[in-house]
Chain A
Amino acid sequence: MAEPAALSEMEVGAAGLAVSLRGVTKVYDSGVSALGPFDLDVRKGEFVSLLGPSGCGKSTALRLIAGLNAPTSGTVLVSRPTPPVSGGHSIGFVFQEPTLMPWTSVRENVRLPLKLAHVPAAQADVRIDEALAQMGLAEFAGAYPRELSGGMKMRVSLARALVTDPDILLMDEPFAALDEITRFRLNNDLLALWRDLRKTVIFVTHSVFESVYLSQRVVVMTSRPGRFGTEIRVDVPEPRGEEFRTSADYAGYCRTVSNALVPSYAGQPGS
Chain B
Amino acid sequence: MNSLQVPPLNAPPLQAPPLSAGQATPDSRALRLVRILLPSVVLMVGIAAWELVVRLYDIPPYVLPGPSAVFRTLVGDWPVLSQSLLTTLLTTLEGFAAAALGGIGLALLFNQSKWLEYSLFPYAVILQVTPVIAIAPLLLIYLPQQTAVIVCAWIVGFFPVLSNTTLGLNSVDRNLAGLFRLYGASRLQTLLYLKLPAALPFILGGLRIAGGLSLIGAVVAEIAAGSAGAGSGLAYRIAESGYRLNIPRMFAALLLLSAAGIVIYGLLALTSHLVLRRWHESALGKEN
Binding site for B on A (CB under 8 A): 63, 66-68, 89, 91, 93, 95, 97, 99, 101-104, 112-113, 115-117, 133-136, 139-140, 143-147, 152, 164, 185, 189, 192-193
B185 touches A136 (CB 8 A): no
A116 touches B185 (CB 8 A): yes
* Bound form: Cα–Cα A191–B185 in Å: 30
* Bound form: Cα–Cα A91–B9 in Å: 32
B173 touches A103 (CB 8 A): no
Q: A67-B182, A99-B176, A103-B280 are in contact. List 12 more A-B contacts (CB 8 A).
A: A68-B178, A91-B182, A99-B175, A99-B179, A112-B183, A113-B183, A116-B189, A117-B183, A117-B184, A133-B2, A145-B279, A164-B183
* Bound form: Cα–Cα A134–B4 in Å: 12
B9 touches A189 (CB 8 A): no
* Bound form: Cα–Cα A95–B280 in Å: 22
B4 touches A68 (CB 8 A): no
22 CB-based A-B contacts, threshold 8 Å: A67-B182, A89-B184, A91-B182, A93-B178, A95-B178, A97-B175, A101-B176, A101-B193, A102-B280, A104-B279, A112-B179, A116-B183, A133-B2, A135-B1, A136-B1, A140-B6, A143-B9, A144-B278, A145-B279, A146-B279, A146-B288, A192-B1
Q: Chain A residues near B9 (CB, 8 Å)?
A: 140, 143, 147
* Bound form: Cα–Cα A239–B181 in Å: 36
Q: Chain A residues near B50 (CB, 8 Å)?
A: none
Q: 6 shortest A-B CB distances, which residue pairs?
A: A99-B175, A116-B183, A103-B197, A102-B279, A95-B175, A116-B185
- CB A244 to nearest CB in B, in angstroms, measures 17
A185 touches B175 (CB 8 A): no
- B180 near A: Cβ within 8 Å? yes
Size bracket of the B interface: 20 to 34
Task: Please give me the residue from chain A that is nearest to B5 by CB atom.
Answer: A136
Chain B 179-221 interface 0/1 with A at a Cβ cutoff of 8 Å (1 = within): 1111111000100011001101000000000000000000000
- B8 near A: Cβ within 8 Å? yes
Task: Please give me the residue from chain B that is nearest to A135 by CB atom.
Answer: B1
A136 touches B183 (CB 8 A): no
Binding site for A on B (CB under 8 A): 1-2, 4, 6, 8-9, 173, 175-176, 178-185, 189, 193-194, 197-198, 200, 278-280, 284, 288
Q: Chain B residues near A97 (CB, 8 Å)?
A: 175
* Bound form: Cα–Cα A197–B178 in Å: 25
Task: Please give me the residue from chain B that is nearest to A152 by CB atom.
Answer: B6
B182 touches A68 (CB 8 A): yes
Q: Chain B residues near A193 (CB, 8 Å)?
A: 1
* Bound form: Cα–Cα A117–B175 in Å: 19
- CB A188 to nearest CB in B, in angstroms, measures 9
- CB B113 to nearest CB in A, in angstroms, measures 22
Q: Chain A residues near B280 (CB, 8 Å)?
A: 102-103
* Bound form: Cα–Cα A133–B1 in Å: 9
B279 touches A136 (CB 8 A): no
* Bound form: Cα–Cα A235–B184 in Å: 38
* Bound form: Cα–Cα A189–B2 in Å: 9
* Bound form: Cα–Cα A243–B49 in Å: 82
* Bound form: Cα–Cα A102–B198 in Å: 9
Q: Chain A residues near B183 (CB, 8 Å)?
A: 89, 112-113, 116-117, 164
A116 touches B180 (CB 8 A): yes
* Bound form: Cα–Cα A135–B2 in Å: 8
Q: Known contacts A93-B179, A116-B189, A117-B184; is A104 also within 8 Å of B2 by CB?
A: no
A66 touches B182 (CB 8 A): yes
Q: Chain B residues near A66 (CB, 8 Å)?
A: 182
Q: Chain B residues near A144 (CB, 8 Å)?
A: 278-279
A68 in complex: contacting residue of B1, B181, B200, B279, CB < 8 Å? B181
* Bound form: Cα–Cα A136–B1 in Å: 7
